[in-house]
Amino acid sequence: MSARHFSHLPDEDVERLFSRPPEALGRACPPALLAVALGATLYMPGTRPRLAHDLARQAAQGAVSSVVCLEDAIADADVEQAQENVVAQLRELSRSGATAPFVFVRVRHPEQIPAIVAGLGDDAGALTGFVLPKFTESHGAAFLDAVDDSAASAGLRLLAMPVIESPEIIHRETREDALLGVQRLLDKHRSSVLAVRTGATDLCSVYGIRRGRDLTIWDVRLVAGVLTDVVNVLGRTDGTGFVVTGPVWEYFSGDERLFKPQLRHTPFDQHDANRLRADLITRDLDGLIREVVLDKLNGLTGKTVIHPSHVPVVHALSVVTHEEYADATDVLGAAGRSGVSPSRYGNKMNESKPHLSWAERTILRARAFGVSAEDVSLVDLLAATAGRA
């Protein structure tokens, strides 16, 4: 299984847009790189009758990671049938030889993990790993043991992505102990934990909250505080942390708006792209753009999405700009030396020690998503990618 971001674009577009194109990704690539490269992880219910076809189609349109859900997206009465469908569809996908995203299955119970791997048999290579819901220290150990045991029995590396979304995490009096417990457990299984996912919808449900399309999850203070604490404990760059991904964006079509659109005219005017701006706003993608920017600012990497139109937006925003790459390479070039120096763009100071972790993470993102050409803007990337969705 292999993939490359933006491989669905014509070669001439890739050459025009990137000074350094994205690297090829495979099962054997370092977990730190694969975690950053997940990008927009597209969720699909396990009941889809043409799941194999849908996964291949989305890969051909730019999706690199996907989660097939057997948990909240499935009615209780349909779980057994959905699990059988997932196994059958992944076997079909494996045997078709079609290019596919990295596929994870979101299970309900630990017992489903060995059952799915055994059901796939020789076709287990179609599966990259499992998403573990409602993850806590007490609830999660059985899931992680099941992943490790199933990987050993199949002779295949399987990766886990726990989801932080339980009431213990949002309740103030239990949050710190709950997060520290999760950290202890994940550290014991570090080699098989790819990334930590965040479940904002479940966190909101504890208080009967649902954010509107005009707002981001960072406007929901109860949940924003949880996300900040998750990054604080589980997203550290000192060797104890993991990649923490952004929560789901759940809107995909426009409706009456209370607030103004969140995209300025000027960048689109400069690129004669006002039709693109109007299309992004109509599909509520301006809200997604703002939330992804705030996710990145607050230490989150990648995004859970539920509609194919979300994928190119998240990926365009994940490309490292020429300026970011210049700053990151300058900081890494000065590693081991203290002091500051002006950036090559002449608009900021780069400090070799405080900016080191940022530079290392930026270089990983550059490997996964590429570096834009010097004269290429976000509008250009959106026009080439989101304009096709």
Q: Are strands 40-45 and 65-69 parallel, antiparallel or unpaired?
A: parallel
How sure is the predictor about 283, in pLDDT bands with cuts at 50, 70 and 90? confident
How sure is the predictor about 387, in pLDDT bands with cuts at 50, 70 and 90? low
Give me the residue spans of the domains in the chain: 25-318
Check the annotation: does 202 bind a ligand: yes
User: Which residue, chain included where needed, has tokens 């109007």?
Assistant: 278
Amino acid at residue number 233: V
How far are the Cα atoms of 182, 217, 222, 237, 293 from residue 229, in angstroms, in the given order? Answer: 12, 14, 11, 14, 18
Q: What is the CA radius of gyration of the chain?
A: 21
How sure is the predictor about 26, in pLDDT bands with cuts at 50, 70 and 90? very high
Task: Point out the least confidently predicted range of 15-24, 325-334, 335-344.
Answer: 335-344
pLDDT, residue 258, reads 66
The answer to whether 41 touches 69, Cβ cutoff 8 Å, is no
pLDDT digits (tens, 9 = 90+) for 241-273: 999 999 999 988 766 676 777 788 888 877 778
pLDDT digits (tens, 9 = 90+) for 223-237: 999 999 999 999 999
Please provide the size of the chain in residues.
389
How sure is the predictor about 142, in pLDDT bands with cuts at 50, 70 and 90? very high
CA dihedral 48, 49, 55, 58 (to 10 degrees): -80
CATH number of the 25-318 domain: 3.20.20.60
Q: Distance between alpha carbon 39 and the CA centroid of its chain, in Å?
A: 4
Is 352 or 69 the better-scoring residue by pLDDT? 69
Q: Check pLDDT > 60 for residue 389.
A: no
The answer to whether 365 touches 318, Cβ cutoff 8 Å, is yes
Q: Check pLDDT > 70 for residue 61.
A: yes
CA angle at residue 78 from 72 to 79, to 5 degrees?
Answer: 65
pLDDT, residue 363, reads 97
pLDDT, residue 300, reads 98
Tokens of 253: 């079509």
Tokens of 110: 């630990």
Tokens of 378: 């976000």
Decide: residue 232, CB within 10 A, 0-12 exposed, 13-18 middle, 19+ buried: middle
Q: Check pLDDT > 90 for residue 277.
A: no
pLDDT, residue 211, reads 87
How sure is the predictor about 139, in pLDDT bands with cuts at 50, 70 and 90? very high
How sure is the predictor about 1, in pLDDT bands with cuts at 50, 70 and 90? low
pLDDT, residue 252, reads 81
Q: Is 214 helix (H, G, I), strand (E, B) or coil?
A: coil
Task: Point out the least confidently predicted range of 1-10, 204-213, 220-229, 248-257.
Answer: 248-257
pLDDT digits (tens, 9 = 90+) for 347-373: 998 988 899 999 999 999 999 999 999
Considering only CA atoms, which of 304, 288, 296 is closest in space to residue 164? 304
What's the chain's average pLDDT? Answer: 93
Question: Quick one: residue 373, left, alpha or beta (phi over 0 = left, psi -120 to 50 = alpha)?
Answer: beta
Is 300 or 342 the better-scoring residue by pLDDT? 300
Tokens of 293: 């920017």
